[in-house]
Amino acid sequence: MTEPLVRASGLTKRFGDFTAVDDVDFVVNPGEVFGFLGPNGAGKSSTMKMIGAVSPVTAGNLTVFGLDPEADGARIRARLGSVPQDNLLDTELTVFENLFIYGRYFDLPKAVIRERIDELLAFAHLEERRDDLVDPLSGGMKRRLTIARALINQPDLILLDEPTTGLDPQARHALWDRLYRLKRQGVTLIITTHYMDEAEQLCDRLVVMDNGKIVAEGSPRSLIGRFATRDVVELRFSLDMQPAESELEGLAKRIESLPDRTLLYTDNADATLVDLTERSLAIESTIVRRSTLEDVFLRLTGRSLID
């Protein structure tokens, strides 16, 4: 068993009276894609900043590459690639200049940086925009540039904080494709997200965070297996026609009533649908789908992941 890249035990971050990260334990192993899934304010970004050796640990233990971020911050950061939530690009400069200056921060020789920039621009599909200013680039392009920039030092570990938030579906898929490619090259990725589909697509293993605590841990499949059923039947009712709970009883293993819809958790959607037709309910629409991490989150916290 190889030594984990990141090991946290009792990790805590407080801002004054507010506890953002509350006594969490996790390890991230080399080569895996590890995710922090949770709603805004769950403590994901604070955890990332501590791993990134930019934010001091309040309490507990944290090692990154076996080093202490407090004492060896610069050595840790030299081997990290960081993709912060807001892109933090220098909008007054060109695409090339942004990459070049960032490379110089790592004290890389200029010739090496130039060579890598050519590769990274191809990777990020930004060759045509090399000498354009950053400001007019689209959101997806800026995101790809930020990821390319994080790769300039050929990091062993990349931290991606909400990599696709605010992107349209096409840009998201283009970005996921890039992240897959990195994974295949053996780079370890740590991702925070509040999109369950993103976590399912990308993560080998993830922890679900809520209010600064880790509430569950596992692979997306195992979490769904443990905390949800195979299928979900989503029912929408006509206005004010929401049936009483007793009317739905026995239809599914578990029933969750949300303000706008009712979720029936079942291992056999077909059977549930047959049962449904036998009860005369004012159903407006029915959707049958597989369980997702959203359902896991709902089960664990009683709340929806995205408001």
Size of the site for another protein (CB under 8 A): 30
DSSP 3-state of 184:
helix
Work out whether 284 is an interface residue with another protein (CB under 8 A).
no
* Interface segment toward another protein; rule CB under 8 A; list 83-91, 112-120, 167-175, 271-279: 83-91
Under the binding rule (CB under 8 A), the answer on residue 74 touching another protein is yes
Task: Write phi, then psi, for 33 (nearest 5 degrees).
Answer: -105, 115
Of residues 217-246, which lie at the interface with another protein (CB under 8 A)? none
Q: Does 106 bind another protein (CB under 8 A)?
A: yes
> Site map for another protein, 34-63, x if CB under 8 A?
------------------x-xxx-------
User: Which of 8, 89, 189, 209 forms a contact with another protein (CB under 8 A)?
Assistant: 89
DSSP for 239-298, please give it. Answer: TT-PPPHHHHTTSSSEEEE-SS-EEEEES-HHHHHHHHHHS---EEEEEEEE--HHHHHH
Q: Does 90 bind another protein (CB under 8 A)?
A: yes
DSSP code, position 128: G
CB of 161 to another protein, least distance (A): 11
Cα separation, 84 vs 72, whole angstroms: 21
Residues 104, 181, 253, 279: which binds another protein (CB under 8 A)? Answer: 104
**CB–CB of 25/214 below 8 Å?**
yes
Site string for another protein, 11-30 (x = CB under 8 A): ----x---------------
Task: Say which residue the tokens 């800026």 belong to.
Answer: 142
Task: State the minimum distance, in angstroms, from the CB of residue 90 to another protein.
Answer: 6
Q: What is d(CA 253, CA 268) in angstroms, rounded to the nearest whole number? A: 10
Q: Does 97 bind another protein (CB under 8 A)?
A: yes
- Find the shortest distance in angstroms from Cβ 53 to another protein: 9
Q: Does 91 bind another protein (CB under 8 A)?
A: yes
Element (H, E) at 83: strand 80-83
Looking only at the bridges linking them, the beta strands covering 33-37 and 188-193 are: parallel
- Under the binding rule (CB under 8 A), the answer on residue 65 touching another protein is no
Helix spans in the chain (H) = 44-51, 69-78, 95-105, 110-123, 139-150, 169-184, 196-202, 220-227, 245-248, 269-278, 293-301
Binding residue for another protein, selected from 60, 73, 139, 218, defined by CB under 8 A: 73
Nearer CB in complex with another protein: 17/260: 17
Q: Which of 31, 60, 84, 243 binds another protein (CB under 8 A)?
A: 84
N- to C-terminal Cα separation, the chain = 40
DSSP strand pairing (188-193 vs 157-161):
parallel
CB of 188 to another protein, least distance (A): 17
User: Of 152-211, which residues contact another protein (CB under 8 A)?
Assistant: 153
Residues of this chain that interact with another protein (CB under 8 A) are 15, 52, 54-56, 73-75, 77-78, 80, 82, 84, 86, 88-94, 97, 100-102, 104-107, 153
